[in-house]
Amino acid sequence: MYNSISDSIASHFGKSIWTKFRRGVRDYELINPGDRIAVCISGGKDSMLMAQCIDRLHRNQEIPFDVEYIIMDPGYSPENMQKILDNAALLDIPAKVYHTRIFESAEKEQKHPCFLCARLRRGWLYKTAQELGCNKIALGHHFDDVIETILMGMLYGSQMQTMMPKLRSENYDGVELIRPLYLVREADIIKWCEFNSLSFIRCACKVTEKKGEGSSKRAEIKALIAQLKQTNPAVEMNIFRSPENVDLRTLISYHNGGERHHFLDDY
């Protein structure tokens, strides 16, 4: 019923990946009976593992839901596109490819090409999911993405926020974004790849090729967390849990959308 790579998720990586995937789905109520989910595959290790986990959950029939596996081609080279297709076949993922010109559009933006690329890709995914009759899109963000986003917001954006496990779209009625790998560590995803001798593409855009992946703000935050972990092994979990332990009495101000509150209002 399953291939050996899928079996390794529940056996060799049962505690580190499969249990955490299922816990995230359960605790955050990410997948419900009757859902139709567009699983968005970029071709990287994270989205490929997510697709494999969702495929396994779907075949288990613990939760009755439907699924569409989507490969959105933003303008990959033929070599990268072929690698994605080969990996999808290897993992038994019945994915459909949709070609776009997003890389071409993003490269014309001088100041913030990565921001524009992400925005265009997200909008395309929501639109396509809606056209396919899906009420959810699944993205491959993991635990490390969450804690890096928290620190990036504080250090570079002067704000306190987190990456939510699920989110309703403001522009596409009835479509919700979910992150099934929310509790899974990136190190364990890498171990899964190495255990099964898997090789996936990275960003694969021309902007990244020019600048280098290590030049991003996220790479700086990743290095900072690794440094802090040397003296405080619990630092990653402490960052992750910090947005769950907010005492509003200790904040100068906070807002809920457009409604802003200041501590002097009730002082």
Give the range among 129-143, 156-170, 201-215, 229-243 with minimum mean pLDDT. 201-215
CA nearest to 76, candidates 58, 95, 102, 48: 102
Does position 208 have pLDDT exceeding 70, yes or no? Answer: no
Q: What is the pLDDT of residues 64-76, one digit of tens each?
A: 999 999 999 999 9
Q: Supply the pLDDT for residue 2.
A: 67
Question: Which pLDDT value is given to residue 14?
Answer: 96
pLDDT digit string (tens) for 73-92? 999 999 999 999 999 999 99
Residue 62, pLDDT above cutoff 80: yes
**Coil, helix or strand for 129?**
helix
pLDDT value, residue 244: 94
Question: Quick one: pLDDT at residue 214?
Answer: 46
Q: For the packed helices 186-195 and 143-157, what is the interaxial angle rounded to 10 degrees?
A: 140
Rounded to two decimals, the pTM is: 0.92
Hey, how many other C-beta atoms are within 10 angstroms of the C-beta on 166? 17
Q: Which residues, 6 or more positions from 263, have their beta carbon under 8 angstroms from its beta carbon?
A: 249, 251, 252, 253
Q: What is the pLDDT of residue 190?
A: 97
Q: SS3 for 149?
A: helix
CA 167/CA 163 separation, integer angstroms: 9
Q: CA 53 to CA 20: how far, in whole Å?
A: 11
- Is pLDDT above 80 for 111? no
**Domains of the chain, CATH where assigned:** 4-146+162-202 (3.40.50.620)
pLDDT for res 134? 97
